[in-house]
Structure 1
């Protein structure tokens, strides 16, 4: 071995969950070293690639003022923030996962979300309302919908920079180009990490280890092994460094796998985009229809607000012939399309008539497409008013797959269509933890000194997830992991 380090706690990863763990451990008196696989310029894992939108429970505007004391009276007057209680959040977690979410973990996530937001705020992370994407203006007021109302200032980059700055100010050491490969362990528990630092095998000896290095969405082999055939064809979004070693290291010492190993957060996004960042997603589909190469609709586009459906849409697109689809809109709704539809690089076609549009949809059967649109247009309940802010109940009747809300006939040109494919954001399967974030072994006992947080924790999300709950879970469980790892270190010092 060329060299080794000593510290109290090692954190593997440097995204939101990892840095929350590092900060919490440090403020509880432990010396902390963070191992980040990426170079410094690409630090932060998937967190960096998010909008920074974060979902938490709040009872009303007084709660929000604690998270955003900067809110002006003018902003308060022009906004209807409503409320989103712990019960609402818990119910969303249950409903969206077909009631498979681990009730204990979901209850910690929802119950500790608000206090964790206050803690982040105290550690200099700043939040602002998401006026652009989560609110429509009605009668001069911004009305927020879908339970998600704030994002970090500067998006994901801003969140990660704030957490890293705070960790640095508190005296946390971060090593970059440091890829963890193996846990140092024996019957007494975990005692450190073997890692490659700039290509050299190195050890760090520690009293406790927190793994928070994300899932395996960027690992083609693991995607195909666990998610199944065709997932090698999904376009990986987010960090190219999330290749699953954190999970693998723990499984190698007998950790219990848990959760939805064949599931992932997978969105519909631009078919040919070079970059799969936020501009890749195409999330205004509830206001139009989606067709596959056979010219057929295959999903209820208006099942719910997009916050609650977008993370499962990618899987459905992957199952279509040649793994693509087209989103179709007419001129009645194009003003509602999100900014990502206006990018120069989008794969789109425009036409004044449906016949002209049909001839431009690459890979789509034009006759069948026109037949689909005709049947869809005739099935729309025109007597129900269209309202993008609520589930308006404006639906179709009599189709094989009906649209439940926001159904408008496609009959006013010009028409626009956008080609989409499946982009995978993060995987749902991972390690089993208990309420103290201690990693469990195959006989459901805690592995002494090993904690986990973030995307590599299994059991929270199945099939789908409520937008913004991934970052919240990272912060909530990261904070708990840091606190408990620090307590574990103190107990062991006393017992020595």
Structure 2
């Protein structure tokens, strides 16, 4: 592989972020080179596998709690001096506040503002966005979904990019940023299937190469020993190895988001399906390999709490838990919709037989379930699986706050659960135009980031915003790059 002619824009990654940027740039008359680590049949990273839910009331309005949820999960123990400075006009912020890892209010505001026009742009390619039932039995916000999921989005955008003349390099991995004598980013060094280093030059560069969930070294560096228990939720995650983030940090970029955390989903480790989620646990009991309960299974609706709960599963012995439930589950409408595994539940006529099948310690697990059953309310008439019902245990530690019914009716069932990694939270700090900022809060000339490579999330994922983050910031980056070229 030899050096390529310079493009107006080099984009690393062909998921929703990279392709939204590519088509936007091509429409503006820029020449584009796209790099994709995967072979052509697997391009798209996580975008290929997601169902592409979006935190919107409909295809022209964001959900009411969109910005509010980001504000409530901006990071723990933030210095009040930082918050006070952030309430001033951006141009008055000190450099250390501009480079702070929290999600800047004006960035979130720009994100929210640009969602509707971004969806309108995608609709212009014949893509459709409609309400769609989710696999969760409860829903704490408004959502729609891309019809055909993320796969429909990236296939349509890739077809458009090719039609408009994009150069696409598959099985090509970016390794290092190229810089000119003045420090401006001018593309990347990369390797292809021959393993040889090549310069791919561009007047501007967009890093849209995902997070680091497919890189065990980076996972362990940032998350410690729990990383050995956590795997990507779908095959696309294995291609996300963090080079985009690493090369920018090495060049002086500011870090943002929570590097020690990730968006977790509870999956059946036996299944080969992507996103083989198990969401029946709020209506049963979660135990670890020692047969012990280790948290409140139902502090709120599953869609509001599963992220944090599933990360706790990763901290259990061997990184696994088991949800035990009984035949009363048949009282719950659509309960099977909360199971996306293609492997049936483990089932037995008695609790003792089920525990034996699971290979859990019999005495300890029976003691756990007996204590739980005794702590459940005698009257379960107010049990309502569709909302937080307040049916809580008494005198049990940890308590179960809602949907606490004793496990007494056979047959008894169980699913194993491990914590799968949808995407990592740590990434690069960007401004409202998706320009990557350096450690002094100043834009790095010629460098942009979009999608999972941008650090936005802390504590709890603002659900159904990741695909939107990719599309919106991809377009913001390309629009600014096009405007800069025209101005220059």
TM-score by length of 2: 0.87
Matched, 1:423 2:420: yes
Q: Deviations over 1:266-289 (max 9, x none)?
A: 22212333x36122x212222222
Equivalent pair of 1:210/1:485 in contact (CA under 8 Å): no
Correspondent of 1:194 among 189, 195, 203: 189
Identify if the C-alpha distance between structure 1 residues 446 and 205 changes in structure 2 by more than 3 Å, giving closer, same or farther: same
Measured in 2, the distance between the counterparts of 1:305 and 1:163 equals 35
Identify if the C-alpha distance between structure 1 residues 389 and 97 changes in structure 2 by more than 3 Å, giving closer, same or farther: farther
Matched, 1:385 2:362: no
Measured in 1, the distance between the counterparts of 2:438 and 2:134 equals 44
Identify if the C-alpha distance between structure 1 residues 245 and 132 changes in structure 2 by more than 3 Å, giving closer, same or farther: closer
Correspondent of 2:226 among 209, 230, 245: 230
Q: How does 1:43-192 map to 2 (within 5 A)?
A: 43-56=43-56, 58=57, 64=58, 85-86=63-64, 88-96=65-73, 102=103, 103-131=105-133, 133=135, 145-186=139-180, 187-192=182-187
Matched, 1:38 2:38: yes
Structure 1 window deviating more from structure 2 (154-163 vs 214-223): it is: 154-163
Structure 1 window deviating more from structure 2 (310-319 vs 331-340): it is: 331-340
Q: Secondary structure at the match of 1:455?
A: helix
Q: Deviations over 1:422-458 (max 9, x none)?
A: 2222111111111111111122211111000111111
Matched, 1:214 2:210: yes
Measured in 2, the distance between the counterparts of 1:390 and 1:107 equals 30
Q: Secondary structure at the match of 1:426?
A: strand
Over aligned residue pairs, what C-alpha RMSD do you find?
2.3
Q: Secondary structure at the match of 2:265?
A: strand
Give the C-alpha shift of residue 96 in structure 1: 4.8
Equivalent pair of 2:176/2:247 in contact (CA under 8 Å): yes
Q: How does 1:251-400 map to 2 (within 5 A)?
A: 251-273=249-271, 275=272, 277-279=274-276, 281-334=277-330, 336-339=334-337, 341=339, 343-346=341-344, 348-362=345-359, 364-381=360-377, 382=379, 385-400=382-397
Q: Deviations over 1:398-442 (max 9, x none)?
A: 221222222222222111101122222211111111111111112
Equivalent pair of 2:6/2:203 in contact (CA under 8 Å): no
Equivalent pair of 1:148/1:467 in contact (CA under 8 Å): no
Identify if the C-alpha distance between structure 1 residues 317 and 19 changes in structure 2 by more than 3 Å, giving closer, same or farther: same
Alignment correspondent of 1:8:
8
Measured in 2, the distance between the counterparts of 1:388 and 1:220 equals 38
Equivalent pair of 1:355/1:370 in contact (CA under 8 Å): yes
Q: Deviations over 1:313-335 (max 9, x none)?
A: 33211211122110112112256
Measured in 2, the distance between the counterparts of 1:312 and 1:370 equals 27
Q: Deviations over 1:31-51 (max 9, x none)?
A: 222111111011001111212
Alignment correspondent of 1:72:
none
Equivalent pair of 2:39/2:171 in contact (CA under 8 Å): yes
Q: Deviations over 1:180-217 (max 9, x none)?
A: 11211132411122222332432222110010000100
Equivalent pair of 1:182/1:193 in contact (CA under 8 Å): yes
Equivalent pair of 1:267/1:423 in contact (CA under 8 Å): yes
TM-score by length of 1: 0.86
Measured in 1, the distance between the counterparts of 2:413 and 2:209 equals 40
Give the C-alpha shift of residue 171 in structure 1: 3.1
Measured in 2, the distance between the counterparts of 1:322 and 1:248 equals 29
Alignment correspondent of 1:456:
453
Unaligned runs of 5+ in 2: 79-101
Equivalent pair of 1:15/1:44 in contact (CA under 8 Å): yes
Equivalent pair of 1:18/1:212 in contact (CA under 8 Å): yes
Equivalent pair of 2:428/2:454 in contact (CA under 8 Å): yes
Identify if the C-alpha distance between structure 1 residues 97 and 285 changes in structure 2 by more than 3 Å, giving closer, same or farther: farther
Measured in 2, the distance between the counterparts of 1:261 and 1:27 equals 35
Alignment correspondent of 1:73:
none
Equivalent pair of 1:324/1:420 in contact (CA under 8 Å): yes
Measured in 2, the distance between the counterparts of 1:107 and 1:386 equals 39
Identify if the C-alpha distance between structure 1 residues 350 and 376 changes in structure 2 by more than 3 Å, giving closer, same or farther: same
Measured in 2, the distance between the counterparts of 1:467 and 1:188 equals 37
Equivalent pair of 2:213/2:241 in contact (CA under 8 Å): yes
Alignment correspondent of 1:79:
none
Unaligned runs of 5+ in 1: 59-63, 68-82, 137-143
Identify if the C-alpha distance between structure 1 residues 172 and 340 changes in structure 2 by more than 3 Å, giving closer, same or farther: farther
Give the C-alpha shift of residue 222 in structure 1: 0.7
Q: Deviations over 1:337-360 (max 9, x none)?
A: 3447474435x4212222222222
Equivalent pair of 1:53/1:148 in contact (CA under 8 Å): no
